[in-house]
Amino acid sequence: MNTISIEQFIQGIPKVELHLHIEGTFEPELMFEIAKRNNKKIAYTSVDELKKAYSFNNLQEFLDIYYAGANVLIQEQDFYDLTWAYLNKVHEQNVVHVEIFFDPQTHTDRDISFDTVIKGIHRALEDGKKQLGISFKLIMSFLRHLDETSAFNTLQQALPYKDWISAVGLDSSELGNPPSKFERVFAKAREEGFLTVAHAGEEGPSEYIWEALDLLKVTRIDHGNRCLDDTKLVEKLVNLQMPLTVCPLSNLELKVVTDLKDHPIPEMMEKNILVTVNSDDPAYFGGYMNENYLEISKALHLSKQQITQLVINSFKASWLSDQDKEKRIAQVEAYFQKN
Ligand code: HPA
Ligand code: ZN
């Protein structure tokens, strides 16, 4: 025990990512490359200038830049390259399983076809499985600032790709767009066999988490930070062992927390909530999985045992088969014992 540093420990432990927007992995270098080949303009003259714009006071300020960045994605190959770059990046970080979001409406609203988007992403995920050994699930997220009709249309377009899409989710501007707005779309999605998840309680109140549970029948809550405002809700999340996919560096960059030293992860763990660590939009928030684990470990003085528990939580919260979960958890426990 205690033979390797926390950095090395985090690097080597097999990890899972459960909250990742593929459009949020768009690194400036790749953005400029793809913009050039598609003859699309970027509002910034250089990678450095673009990176300087990555300073946000809230979720909306980030979303404005995030949607602008996605504008240069046109061809199936662009979506492939975006996803392939992400998979290679996390492969270096020893991520072995990913469950990632894509936002079809960000693209279909610009007249890029649903097929172009999903075919590029899916082909990269298949290649990642074959060549990098990363297993995957794909989650189609509805943009909650758009209306119910747009979400229904998007669901319709997803039906031919049921085999490729495990779940539907809900993201974008949370305040003023409660889960209840999409109750009927989510009911239809469940009827069609999709699992459901939703961003709730990132900027929005704990009531939105209740709605996600009661109305959208989610199997995970994305973020969920605000659950701590409501003891009854915490009790419910614990009883259900409902996973929260928490994103520390995202929380810091979007001012959901003012300092990582005040991040609620330890309190959530203490209360027995099934909390997990994720990167959300790593190209914009300054870190992928390892950086998220490392920064909270430093700020909150997490032990190797606590880090191991967070990783095990992620495997438990994933949609891997029970057999694969058991195998992976045993592997993680053996790693902890050895290191
Ligand atoms: N919250 C809401 N919508 C998003 C996010 C997020 O953290 N990232 C990308 N879209
Ligand atoms: Zn998110």
> What confidence tens digit (pLDDT) does each residue in 130-152 have?
999 999 999 999 999 999 999 99
Mean pLDDT, the chain, whole residue set: 98
* Predicted confidence band of residue 1 (pLDDT cuts 50, 70, 90): low
Q: Is the pLDDT of residue 204 over 60?
A: yes
Query: Quick check: CB of 24 below 6 Å from ligand 1?
Result: yes
For residue range 241-260, list pLDDT tens digits in order.
Answer: 999 999 999 999 999 999 99
Neighbours of ion ligand 2 (CB under 5 A): 280
Q: Is the pLDDT of residue 3 over 90?
A: no
Q: How far is Cα 218 from Cα 12, in angstroms, rounded to an integer? A: 32
Q: Annotated catalytic sites, by residue?
A: 202
Query: Quick check: CB of 23 below 6 Å from ligand 1?
Result: no
List the structure tokens of 217. 């029948």
Mean pLDDT of 183-208: 99
Residue-range domain boundaries for the chain: 6-338
Mean pLDDT of 25-48: 96
Read off the DSSP letter of residue 131. I
Q: What predicted TM-score, i.e. pTM, was given to this entire model?
A: 0.98
Q: Among the atoms of ligand 1, which is closest to the Cα of residue 247? A: 7
CA 16 to each of CA 135, 276, 278, 289, 319: distance values in angstroms, whole numbers, following the listed order: 10, 9, 8, 9, 11
Q: Does domain 6-338 have CATH number 3.20.20.140?
A: yes
**Which protein residue's CA is at the shortest distance from atom 4 of ligand 1?**
172
Query: Quick check: CB of 105 below 6 Å from ligand 1?
Result: no
Of residues 95, 124, 133, the one with CA closest to residue 291 = 95
For residue range 293-327, list pLDDT tens digits in order.
Answer: 999 999 999 999 999 999 999 999 999 999 999 99
Mean pLDDT of 276-287: 98
Q: How many helices (H) and strands (E) does the chain have?
A: 17, 8
pLDDT for residue 168? 99
Query: Quick check: CB of 280 below 6 Å from ligand 1?
Result: yes
Q: How far is the CA of 21 from the centre of ligand 2 (A)?
A: 6
**Which protein residue's CA is at the shortest distance from atom 3 of ligand 1?**
172
* Predicted confidence band of residue 166 (pLDDT cuts 50, 70, 90): very high
pLDDT for residue 84? 99
